[in-house]
Structure 1
């Protein structure tokens, strides 16, 4: 498909570069039986790149295929490496951005830990309101200084004025991101110190790194730094900084409300990257399936990570659960469950010994050190394969 209208810049310059059918509609659902996991709603991917601004979106996204409720679980707080990264963001907001004596709203607060840290840090005197339909916990807290609302805000206005809006890993779930940003902009109109902080996946990193498992149905809107800037500018947010964080995998944007913001467009080389990615994926699927067949003969194969990356990988390479014995995850809420779509079992790291796993596929290189340290403590001898580094060189059998 070509000539599709871009949801960010409005130009009829979208070209579909990647199509996948029958993909799980929601990657992070908790399924307690294999039957339930295999019965989830499925959707279609038609990943489309805008040749005018560089935005990438799923032109076949279907919101009815996605569930955000109490069975949705995507927290990464079980990972020390990720916790260290998140603490760095919190420290930067408090110490460098001087977020003190502020009314903070977090859109998509998850379990509330990030917002809670911004409110409870020593001497900050902040108040906070978190929005998330998947929140599980008490509200209000801290004598009313912190409250949570079980709502999904896609384009609806916030209920209260505020000084700071933080939104981490939400906008990629929103099919109309400009409306979403407009609602955020409107909530800041009465604050003289208003600021916006947004974190979201970096599509340029995905395309350059050839992480084929980073395109999935939940993420219908994926940005380059330039296209995220364009989206903000369209609603009157002046972007003061965009940087690549978490090893380049994420974008971190800072902006302030302003009048008369000029809207810029810079597609970069998104079209070339997208075309090369699509061609390479076809070869990747064939070669990795062949290598997994060989690896499974030598010994049991497992995947580390039951998040969206792991869910996407096993559904792409082993939808019938023939080649991968299990998926390992450190999150106790996921252990004992099953992968949406394929139905692979999710186990704790301690289970690796009992299952005699020979090959372990590592989805995210940022976690390699902590995973290898844990395997050493558990005395698990296994061949760890960094899937990102070996995406185009899948030689599993030594």
Structure 2
């Protein structure tokens, strides 16, 4: 999510047109950007918990206008509106209720502790959410952690092992939070919510002493997969910045970091980067590795329409058979699915294993979010899984509940 108050940033890397659309690349400052995908009237907050259907249907709306930078390969939503997004205590983004994700999260924390010798160290997370990763770092290495996030809920950590060494600060990130130099600074699934990417990374770099050699770890959605596979469910208003390995590495190098490692993980969904403050300025080549992506961007509109047609057909066939249709997963992917295909009226319910989401309503469409246990009574004929990495987990849950149905995965 967005963890920096953008009112403190200048637009030195971005030219803003009269209609509010950002024309120049926020990553490298180039004016050579190409518009290739537009969606209008989309919810601007896809993880907000709405108490009533009317409130959910009447949520704030914005637009998506994806531009591709021909210089550095960065993709961004030129129509992103920061003033229409909300990051507060009712922003429910945690994936920690999934056993699949929890295993990945714990393994990632263990990997960081081992590779960077994080034992009794000072660690910080920008965009810590509800603090789960910081707690893991505390548990596995007895580290002391500080998490900064306006949606943080410190009370969620009461009584959790290792939480006594973790402090959550429900604020937007500012350079002053780095006054005490951390040994390890991480920022997971947050940079994609930041519109002024270069300013953000430069702000972080300015707060770090190069002699300290703080290890910096970032994790973002991997954009090559999104564009290559037309994963429209991963394109929504809050995600204003989309990175490939090349554009992410360029951003860090031109911002004063020495990149030590990049990787693609979690079924090719997550891109990670590790870096340390560079002793000397680096001059990266912004055009490295962009030719294949440029071809995918050029063919994206036509391929996307075919992909969306397929999913409309899947839902229409189920309804023609008189089946009840349920989406499994009520987060951002489901919001995009419901608002992108024009078939929201054919989907009956949305379910989620996160109990904090139950009995709330989906942004934009007002679908009720039900507990998986309620599916026994609902008797769906088709369950569409919003993320295929959870297919085995969800199939096992359906069997345990006693539901027999067709399962399709995005």
Q: Do both proteins adopt the same fold according to a TM-score greater than 0.5, normalized to the shorter chain?
A: yes
1:60 aligns with 2:79: yes
Matched residue, 1:33 = 52
Cα separation, 2, equivalents of 1:105 and 1:189: 15
Query: Runs of 5+ in structure 1 lacking a partner?
Result: 388-398
**1:232 aligned partner:** 252
Label 1:166 to 1:26 Cα distance change in 2 as closer, same or farther (>3 A): same
In 1, Cα distance between equivalents of 2:391 and 2:43 = 27
SS in 1 for 2:152: coil
Match of 2:271 in 1: 251
Name 1:310's counterpart in structure 2.
Answer: 334
Match 1:338 to one of 337, 361, 371 = 361
1:117 aligned onto 2:114: no
Corresponding position of 1:218 = 238
Where does the alignment leave 5 or more consecutive residues of structure 2 unmatched?
1-16
What is the number of residues matched between the two proteins?
384
Residue aligned with 1:16, SS = strand
Off by >6 Å, runs of 4+ in structure 1: 139-144, 154-157
- CA RMSD between the two structures: 2.2
**Aligned match of 2:14:** none
Instruction: Answer yes or no: is 1:77 the counterpart of 2:96.
Output: yes
Q: Which residue of 2 aligns with 1:179?
A: 199
| 1:342-398 superposed Cα distances (whole Å, 9 cap, x missing partner) | 1111111111121121011112111011111111111110100122xxxxxxxxxxx
Which residue of the partner structure matches residue 152 of structure 2?
135
The correspondence for 1:281, drawn from 287, 297, 304, is 304
Deviation at 1:158, TM superposition (A): 3.5
| Equivalent residue in structure 2 for 1:197, among 217, 232, 254 | 217
Output aligned runs, 1:334-373, within 5 Å.
334-373=357-396
Shift of 1:324: 0.2
Inter-partner Cα distance in structure 1 for 2:164 and 2:206 = 24
| Shift, 1:155, TM fit | 7.5
TM superposition shift of 1:186: 2.3
In structure 1, C-alpha distance between the alignment counterparts of 2:212 and 2:88, rounded to whole Å: 35
Matched, 1:261 2:261: no
Q: 1:289 to 1:143 in 2, by over 3 A?
A: closer
* Aligned residues of 1:27 and 1:311 also touching (Cα < 8 A): yes
Q: CA deviation at 1:191?
A: 5.0
Aligned residues of 1:49 and 1:270 also touching (Cα < 8 A): no
Cα separation, partners in 2 of 1:331 and 1:192, compared to 1, 3 Å: same
Higher mean alpha-carbon deviation, 61-70 vs 273-282, is at 273-282
- CA–CA distance in structure 1, aligned partners of residues 106 and 163 of structure 2: 24
Which of the residues 116, 120, 126 maps onto 2:143? 126
Q: Retained in 1: the 8 A contact 2:50–2:361?
A: yes
Structure 2 CA distance for aligned equivalents of residues 154 and 38 of structure 1: 34
Further displaced range: 257-266 or 246-255: 257-266
Distance 1:3 1:196 in 2: 28
